[in-house]
Amino acid sequence: MLEEIAISRAIIDSYWRKLGKILEVDVVICGAGPSGLVCAATLAKKKKKVVVFEKKLSIGGGMWAGGMFFNEIVIQDSGKKILEEYKVRVRKYKKNYYLADAVECVCSLGYHVIKAGAIIINGVSVEDVVVRKSRICGVVINWSAVELANLHVDPLAVKAKFVVDATGHSSDVVRIVEEKSGLKLNTKIGKRVGERSMWVDLAESMVEKNTQEVVPGLVVAGMCANAVFGSPRMGPIFGGMLLSGKRAAEIILSKIK
C-alpha cells in the first residue's frame, strides 16, 4: 500500500540532503543554458563539486526552440565536436554548417551534467552575490516563485570558490556585481559594455575570447560574456556557446586549488 506521508517524507529527506551538499561547493553556475551546462559537465568530469542554479523549471535556456520555435539548431565545425562528445547526433547541412535536434541537444547535455556528478537546482534564482576582500565568494539564492509573487522572503547563501555567470543576454550576476559590489570589471570601461546587434561571424569568434574572469571569483560564459564585453549577438547558432562553457571550465580548473 502506498502512503501519502511516505512520499512526502521521501521528497523532503532527499531534497534536504541535496541542499546540504550544495551549501559549500567549488563552483556555482548561474543559469542552465548551453554554456552553463557544458561548463558544469566539464568541471564535474574533473571531480569538482558543482551546483547549477536555474531560475526556470526547465534547463536548456534558449536552446529548446532553435530559431523562432523551429527546433533545429545550427552549429559549425568547432561546435560539432563538442556536441558529439555529448552523444548528440549531428547532421551535415553544407560545409561548416551542421544541424542537430534542439530537444536532443538539451536532453543529452543535461543527462551528461547529472551523470558527471553536478547537481542542478531548478526553480531557484540567483539574486545576489557574497563579496569578501574584493572577491566573489558565493551567491544568494531564492525560489523564483518568491520573485514572481513579489513576496518579501529573505534568501539563503551558498559559498563557492568560483561563480560562473551563464545567465545569457540578461547577464544577471554581472549586473548585480556592477550595481552593488563597487568592483571594477576588467572590460575597457570597467563596467558591462552591453550587447550589440546581430553579427553571427564576429559574435561567434568573440565569445570564447570574452569568456574571462571579470572580477576575482566571477567568470562570464556564453551570451553573457558577449553582453559584458560589448560584442554582438549571434542568434540560433550554438557552437560559440558550447566552446565558451568549456573555456569557462578550463579557466576555473587552471586556478582552482
- Binding interface with ligand 48F (CB under 6 A): 30-36, 53-56, 61-63, 125-126, 166-168, 170, 172, 222-224, 233-234, 237-238, 241
Q: How far is the CB of 10 from ligand 48F (least distance, A)?
A: 27
Closest distance to ligand 48F from the beta carbon of 244 (Å)? 7
- From the CB of 32, what's the least distance to ligand 48F, in Å? 5
Label residue 5 left, alpha or beta by phi (over 0 means left) and psi (-120 to 50 means alpha). alpha
Nearest distance from C-beta of residue 30 to ligand 48F, angstroms? 5
Task: State residue 73 phi and psi, 5-degree precision.
Answer: -110, 150
Q: How far from chain centre, in Å, is Cα 13?
A: 27
CB-wise, 18 or 47, nearer to ligand 48F?
A: 18
Nearer to ligand 48F, 167 or 210 (CB): 167
Encode burial over 115-128: b for 16+ CB neighbours within 10 A, e otherwise: ebebbbbeebbbbb
Closer to ligand 48F at the Cβ: 185 or 221? Answer: 221
Taking the least distance from each CB to ligand 48F, the nearer of 13 and 201 is 201
Nearer to ligand 48F, 185 or 225 (CB): 225
- Closest contact distance (angstroms) between CB of 19 and ligand 48F is 16
What's the min distance (Å) between Cβ of 110 and ligand 48F?
11
Q: 220 with 228: CB under 8 angstroms?
A: yes
User: Least distance (Å) from ligand 48F to the CB of residue 191?
Assistant: 19
Residues 6+ away with beta carbon under 8 Å from 146: 153
For the CA atoms of 151, 152, 156, 162, the dihedral, rounded to the nearest 10 degrees, stands at: 80
Query: Which is nearer to ligand 48F, 50 or 126 (by Cβ)?
Result: 126
Q: What is the rounded CA–CA span in Å between residue 248 and residue 173?
A: 15
Q: What is the DSSP letter of 103?
A: H
List the grid coordinates of 24.
559549500
- C-alpha 134/C-alpha 237 separation (Å) is 36
For ligand 48F, the closer of residues 10 and 93 by Cβ is 93
229's enclosing H/E stretch is helix 223-229
